[in-house]
Amino acid sequence: MDSIKYILPEKDMPTSWYNIQADLPVPLPPYLHPVTKQVIGPGDLAPLFAMELIKQEVSQERFIDIPEEVQKIYRQFRPSPLYRARRLEQALDTPAHIYYKLEDVSPAGSHKPNSAIPQAYYNMKEGIKRLTTETGAGQWGSSLALACNYFDIELKVYMVKVSYNQKPYRRMMMETWGATCVPSPSPDTNSGRAALAADPNNMGSLGLAISEAVEDAMQRDDTHYTLGSVLNHVLMHQTIIGQECQKQMEMAGEYPDVVIACVGGGSNFGGIALPFVYDKLRKDTKTRVLAVEPSSCPSLTKGLYAYDYGDEAGMAPITKMFTLGSHFMPPPVHAGGLRYHGMSPIISHLHKLGIIEARAVNQLATFEAGITFARTEGIISAPETNHAIRAAIDEAIKCRETGEKKVILFNHSGHGYFDMTAYNTYLLGDLSDYEYPAEKVKEAQSFMPQV
């Protein structure tokens, strides 16, 4: 029988996360303090993050145990299935074998609970009663609302205003799980008030929402801040995806020639790819690892590799990363989760070292791929996920032309049920492409810290 799904039994779910810092050929550049520009120590981060998460951020241990209570909640939806896209292969008439890991199966509909759950757990363990965070399209906010609900933590989410207005259902999910969600810029913080004073119609950005959430957390002893992507510990929590894939690919009797995921801050990409990068570094496998970003916000392919602020107001740590500048306002593409000016330090570092590849794709081409996927595999994907699907289809078409029987694996980061307005716009023929003007990156330099 030709299998479609590879289901890993609960008892075979990985019990530790993989930390790539143990295997990097060159260590990561350190974080710097946003004011003093000196290397940051754990004490500087303690007002913001749980100590266990700070330890994970800099840990050099290869594997870190997943706490029993986190595993228990993971098992509500994990292991997630690995699919062979046989109907898509047929439609493309490709000799390639295409596999996708379905992360839509979490209650929030994406991979993000993989990190939201441990982040809420460690904060609860350390006596924290309240968390703050930012959210773009609402995926992270809803995932953290789910997690905080399990551990009885109060949550305040600063949601980028343009999405708050466009995507009310994500806000309603957060409220259903018991969180509070306000549009950013909000009148509740100094950064929000300053932005509103300068422009009452400011529609917000992730960088600004981060400033608000950080400022809120700094002001209360019972409150910490959490970030849904970018940071090392977030990518590490997501590696359960790739570790499950390794076992499932073995069940299928194959090994991927190329591993693909979309990148916003880099967490779902890191999640599926880093365990395979381990194989590349330690077992000399030749797998290509491909990060796909939007042409409208192309930090890896057009950004500068520089120390930059993680947020607009310059309160978050300064990070060496590929960046378009902390004041960059990405155009209003529908892939809200890919509209961040920077990139995870780990992904930036691996790209700089030439261990991973990056590619930018334009919005129309991603929706075209999403429609093909919906009409073959049946699944309606998040606009972010459509970036990965686009690249997987392009790789499969190349195989049709060369006759190569490559094994392609991509991460299906989430479903698109709350993005039907975007699909409608595409179907009406009204969707636009946005190309980032490469010369713009020079302007961004003027806002970067002098270090």
Ligand X SMILES: *Cc1c(COP(=O)(O)O)cnc(C)c1O
Q: Which residues form the interface with ligand X (CB under 6 A)?
A: 110, 112, 139, 229, 262-269, 337-338, 382, 384-385, 413-414
Q: Which is nearer to ligand X, 10 or 417 (CB)?
A: 417
Q: Which is nearer to ligand X, 209 or 399 (CB)?
A: 209
Q: For the CB of residue 413, give the shortest distance to ligand X in the complex, in Å.
A: 3
Q: For the CB of residue 439, give the shortest distance to ligand X in the complex, in Å.
A: 26
| CA distances to 141, 157, 185, 200, 209 from 182, in Å | 11, 6, 9, 16, 10
Q: Which is nearer to ligand X, 156 or 170 (CB)?
A: 170
Q: Do residues 309 and 318 lie in contact, with contact meaning Cβ atoms separated by under 8 Å?
A: yes
Q: For the CB of residue 263, give the shortest distance to ligand X in the complex, in Å.
A: 5
Q: Which is nearer to ligand X, 135 or 326 (CB)?
A: 135
Q: Which is nearer to ligand X, 103 or 257 (CB)?
A: 103
Q: Which is nearer to ligand X, 343 or 399 (CB)?
A: 343
Q: Which is nearer to ligand X, 269 or 328 (CB)?
A: 269
Q: For the CB of residue 270, give the shortest distance to ligand X in the complex, in Å.
A: 8
Residues 6 or more apart whose Cβ sits within 8 Å of residue 75: 10, 13
Q: Which is nearer to ligand X, 265 or 310 (CB)?
A: 265
Which residue's Cβ lies closest to ligand X? 414
Q: For the CB of residue 272, give the shortest distance to ligand X in the complex, in Å.
A: 10
Q: For the CB of residue 240, give the shortest distance to ligand X in the complex, in Å.
A: 14
Q: For the CB of residue 364, give the shortest distance to ligand X in the complex, in Å.
A: 19
Q: For the CB of residue 265, give the shortest distance to ligand X in the complex, in Å.
A: 4
d(CA 29, CA 53): 18
